Structures are given as C-alpha cells and as structure tokens.
A and B are shown apart, each in its own frame.
Chain A
Amino acid sequence: MRHGKLSSASPMALRRYGFILSFLAAPLVLYVVFVIAPYVQAFQIALTNWKGISPDFDYVGFENFGKMFADDVFWQAVRHHGLLLLVMPLATIAIALFFSFLLNIGGGQANGRRTGVRGAAFYKIVFFFPQVLAVAIVGVLFQAILRPDKTGVVNNALGAVGIDPVGWLINPDLALWTIMGVMVWQAVGFYVVLFSAGMSSIPSEVFEAAALDGAGRFTLFFKITLPLLWDTLQVGWVYLGIAAFDGFALVQVLSVDRGGPDNATTVLPLEIWRQAFTFSKYGYASAMGVALFFLTLTFAVLTLRVTRRERIEF
C-alpha cells in the first residue's frame, strides 16, 4: 500500500502509523507475554534447580542435562519417539495412500475420466470423522474397547473365535503398539482427504495416456500417482513426524498408570508434565523440554533436507 506516499502531509502518515500500532499492539503483546517469553524462560529455567515450592533457586549449569542423560526413563521415552517416528507415519501414509487411490482413481474409467470406487464420497466422510474427536475422548473410548479380559469388546470378539484375551494395554511388549494403532485409527481419514486433494489436482490426461499405453492399476499407482503426489506426501510426513514427538493426550489417558506398564509407553511430553506438575521439578522438566525441542528441530531439518527433490510441474 502506498497511502503514506500518496501525500507527504504528516497527519496522514501519523494516522497510518497510529493505525498500524493500534492493530498490532494487542496481538503482539499477548503473543510475546504468553508464547515468546515462556519459550525463552524455559531455556533459563532448565539451568536451575528450581523446585517450585519456594521462589528460591540456584543456577546449576548443565546439571539437569547430566541427570537427564543418566535417567533411564528419559532414554525409554526417546526410544519410544524413535519407534513412533518409524512406524506410525509409515503405517498411516501407506493405509491412507491405498484408500485415497481406491477412492479417487481405482474405480476404473467412466466417460474417459478415472473415478473412484462406488461409495467413495461416503467412505471419505466416515474415515475422516475420528479426526474431529478430541484425542482425550478417543483415549477413553479405546480404554473401554481394549479392556484386558473378556469384558473388552476386542477380546470378547477374539474369544468368540477361540483366541485367548490379549493384554492390549497391560502387556509391556504390546502396549506401545496398541497406542500406535489407535493413533493410526484416528489419523488415516485426515490423510485420505489430504491425499485425495492432491490426487484430484493431477490432470486426468496423464492417467488416460498411461491407460492407453496399457498401464495397469499398479503401474498407475507406483509410476504415476506416487511421484506426482510427492509434495503432498512430504507435508503428510512432516505432520505425522511432529505428531510422533507428541502423543501426550493419548498416552496420558489411554495407557495404564500414565505411561505404563513400567514406563513401557511413556513419551517426553508426559515426563515433562509429570516432572513439573506432580514432582514440581521445574528445572528438570524444562531441561526435558529443551531436549524435546532439539529432537523436533533435528527431525524437521533432516526431513526437509532429505525429501527435497525437484518439483514435477504439470
């Protein structure tokens, strides 16, 4: 906008700056006080032994970090994030890609255009629904469904075909996988819709040309759809990767003993929350927060580096 330059009269310029100031002041103050300042303070508190009860604390340098690196629970949580990062995005993306391919392209041709299978619109609506539910509510829901004895729906159904009850959440070797399953259950619909949007922007001539060359569904999927969808896939991967460093609400609500059994499902956000609000170890909790920040940052930078490739224009 050139309003300031339209006239050099100072009342006009003054009015312009007054306007800018009046529009920016409230959001900026709110944002700096409640978002930026806490982030900065977290790095400072991480260097103290603050226990929260008294206002007194000492700077202890990197003591909290030393304690953290010697803490088994910390490393357990980091390992869980590693597993989450490896399995959850891959499973979600694979299932969502399969479904969105079926729903958009897999139905064959009608009037020379590729269409989805019958009922595609209905499936998209149903699949997306878990996304609008609160994670805490999903957690409570699955707590009832996955009860370890025959009173759980899943185990009751398994019992009907002669399989013994499975300790979905009480078996330490299984609990994290169960929680990942619930994460995938909730996330798939979102990525079906996201990938569908990406697929519908691929021009249909591309598919027509390929079909004329005799390409089957598998060729269409791996040689055409996948490369043309790369940008959208990358976005999905980043989103899911960031989600893999969270997991707080689901683990806190769904797992036994909040992160159990025996810390078998704990994640860093949960440990931060527990150290801060159960044990009032503000310094230590903030140190874990700093660790989480650097883990997330590393993931984001690496992903952008590795997955960047040339855009395919169409």
Chain B
Amino acid sequence: MTRPPQRTGGRVGVFGALSHLALVVWAILVIFPIIWTFLGSFKTNTEIFGEHPLGLPATFHWDAWGRAWAKAHIGQYMVNTVIVVALSTFFTMLLSSMAAYVLARYRFFGSKVIYLLFVSGLSFPVFLALVPLFLTVKNLGLLGTHTGVVIVYVAYSLPFSVFFLTAFFKTLPTSVAEAAMMDGASHTRTFFQVMLPMAKPGLISITIFNILGQWNQYLLPIVLLPGNAEDKWLITQGIANISTNAGYEADWAGLFAALSMAIIPMLIVYIVFQRQIQSGLTAGALK
C-alpha cells in the first residue's frame, strides 16, 4: 500500500474532495427534512404538495401552529409528557441510585442475587412482557392514568440505571464516606450528603439517558394510555395520531406545525447540552 509521496498528494486531493462531498451530502440529508417540516407549517396545502414542495411559503402565518396547539391538543400532550417524564426520571434516579449504592457498597446475604436480578432485565425484550404488564396495570386500576405510566417507566428504567450506577459507585473512593460515618452521620445521611454529590457525573449521564429514552417512548404510551384516555396522551402517540387524521382532514400544515413543535424543543435542548447528551447516550455502550 505504500506509495511514493509525490503521488500521494494528488490521490489525497481527489479522495479528500470526495469524502468532503459525502459529509456535506449526509449533513443535508439530516438538516433538510427538518427545515422542510418547519417551512411546511407555514404553507398552504397547494404549496406543500404543489409543483414546488421545496419552495418557500408565500406568506408566513402561524394559523397552523394555533390549530395544532389547541385543536390537535399538541399543547396538552406536551404538558402531559413533561409531567410524566419529569416524575418518572426523578423517581428512576432516586430509586436506582439508592439500590445501586447499597448493591455497590454493602455486602449482605443475597446482594449478588439482587444485583443479577436487576441486570437480567437488560436481556429481555419488553415485547415479551407486554400482555402481562398490560393486565397488571389494568388490574391495579392504573390503565389510562399517568401514575401507571410513571410507575412502568421507572420500573423498566431500573435495570440499566442500576447496572450503570452500581459500576459508578464502585469507582468512588470509600474514605470520604467512612470519615462521615466516623463523625456520626447515619447511613442515609452519608448517602444523600456525601455519596450523591460525589456521584454527580454518573448521575447526570444517566439522567439524560433516561429523559431522552422516556420522552421518546412510543410503545408503552399506546399500550397504557388507550384511545379512551385521549386527554392523557403523550406527545409521540399524539403526533402519530395526527398523522393518521391529517390525511382525512387534509390539514398538512397542521401536521407540520405539530411535528415542528415536537422537534424544536428537542433541537434547542440538544444544541445547548449536545456534549452531555452525546456522552450520556454513548455512556451505555462504554461499559
């Protein structure tokens, strides 16, 4: 493969140009659909599906945004999703860090078994549990309630969070906690005031991981919040439903406005926290 240096220059030039072109093309493939959706929310149906679907709208009016927010209930779905994800992420973090701390730092009868029980949850597809899970939630009277969704989100986020945080707590030095205990701090106080602050980097990664995972969940909402609980719906199932209806009502601008409303918050959050998000999401792969 060795080539004389003078030839390398020319080859690299062509290769470099082509590879740069590939990068630009892929960037366009990613950016273009999103810009098109955003512009589509200002267009009329003829503009969207007419001769030039790639053109700019004639006028920028926000009617479709109003329709999507109020009539298609995107506002409602958005609020629902924020509430559900905030609660379930909070409880996921609380419960998983408690369990992980005890499993990482205390040796007691059955600790190994409990750890393996949590980790084994990682190897099962959620579809296997779907029917019994639905029946359990139904029998508890939690079908069609946000409480039910939050509980299920927390339960299914535990395996990975416990797995990751157990490994993380094991890497922390023991001396600080021991000193705190010597000074008479209780186990609980040591955990909340000494260990949790020390575990901050790991906690942030897993929090981001859980927020994104739960925000984007689609299967569990459509199973746990069925059609008769429409006012409880979450954003993903709301958007999917609007898409089905847009065909009948021919309100494509409304659909694009709804899509934009779902995409833009994620875009802003992503741009602000992109470093943390990238490391949070890839954290799982670097076990």
How many residues does chain B have at the interface if contact means C-beta atoms less than 8 Å apart?
105
Quick check: A137 and B262 within 8 Å, CB to CB? yes
Interface of A is mostly: helix
How far apart sit A215 and B3, CA to CA, in the bound complex (Å)? Answer: 8
Contacting residues of chain B (192-248) with chain A, CB-CB under 8 angstroms? 212, 215-219, 223, 235-237, 239-240, 242-243
Q: Within A143-159, which residues are at the interface with B (CB < 8 Å)?
A: 143-145, 147, 151-153, 156-157
Residue B83 is within 8 A (CB to CB) of chain A in the complex: no
Q: Which residues of B contact A119 (CB under 8 A)?
A: 23
Q: Is A123 an interface residue (CB 8 A)?
A: yes
Tell me how far the C-beta of A245 lies from the nearest C-beta in chain B, rounded to whole angstroms: 7
Does A89 count as interface, using CB distance less than 8 angstroms? no
Question: How far apart are the CA atoms of A189 and B105 in the complex, in Å?
Answer: 37
Q: Give which listed residue, A135, A194, A285, A292, contacts B282 with CB less than 8 A.
A: A194
Q: Which residues of chain A are within 8 angstroms of B84 by Cβ–Cβ distance?
A: none
Instruction: Tell me whether A34 and B262 are in contact in the complex, defined as CB-CB below 8 angstroms, given that A1-B106, A1-B174, A126-B31 are known contacts.
Output: no
Chain B residues within 8 Å of A139, by CB: 240, 243
Q: How far is the CB of A92 from the nearest CB of chain B, in Å?
A: 12
Asked if A189 contacts B130 (CB within 8 A), the reply is: no
Say yes or no: A129 contacts B30, CB within 8 Å. Answer: yes
A51 and B161 alpha carbons, distance in the complex (Å): 35
Task: Tell me whether A87 is interfacial, beta carbon within 8 Å.
Answer: no
Most interface-central of B16, B101, B235, B240 (chain A CB within 10 A): B240
Q: Are A132 and B98 in contact (CB under 8 A)?
A: no
B128 contacts A137, CB within 8 Å? no
Indicate whether B86 reaches chain A with its CB closer than 8 angstroms.
no
B contacts with A: majority SS: helix
Interface string of A183-214 (1 = CB under 8 A from B): 00100111001100100000000000000011
**A42 to B240, Cβ gap below 8 A?**
no
Q: Is the CB of A216 within 8 A of B174?
A: no
Name the residue among A38, A106, A189, A289 with the largest chain B CB count within 10 angstroms.
Answer: A38
A-B CB contact pairs (8 Å), 10 listed = A20-B108, A33-B136, A33-B155, A108-B12, A136-B216, A136-B218, A152-B53, A235-B285, A246-B127, A272-B130
Known: A127-B30, A269-B127. 8 other contacts (CB 8 A): A24-B99, A24-B103, A38-B136, A123-B26, A136-B216, A137-B239, A144-B252, A289-B129
Q: Which residues of A approach B to under 8 Å, CB–CB?
A: 1, 3, 15-17, 19-20, 22-24, 26-28, 30-39, 41-42, 45, 95, 98-99, 102-103, 106, 108, 117, 119, 123-137, 139-145, 147, 151-153, 156-157, 185, 188-190, 193-194, 197, 213-219, 223, 232, 235-236, 239, 245-246, 248-249, 252-253, 268-269, 272-273, 276-277, 282, 285-286, 289-290, 292-293, 296-297, 300
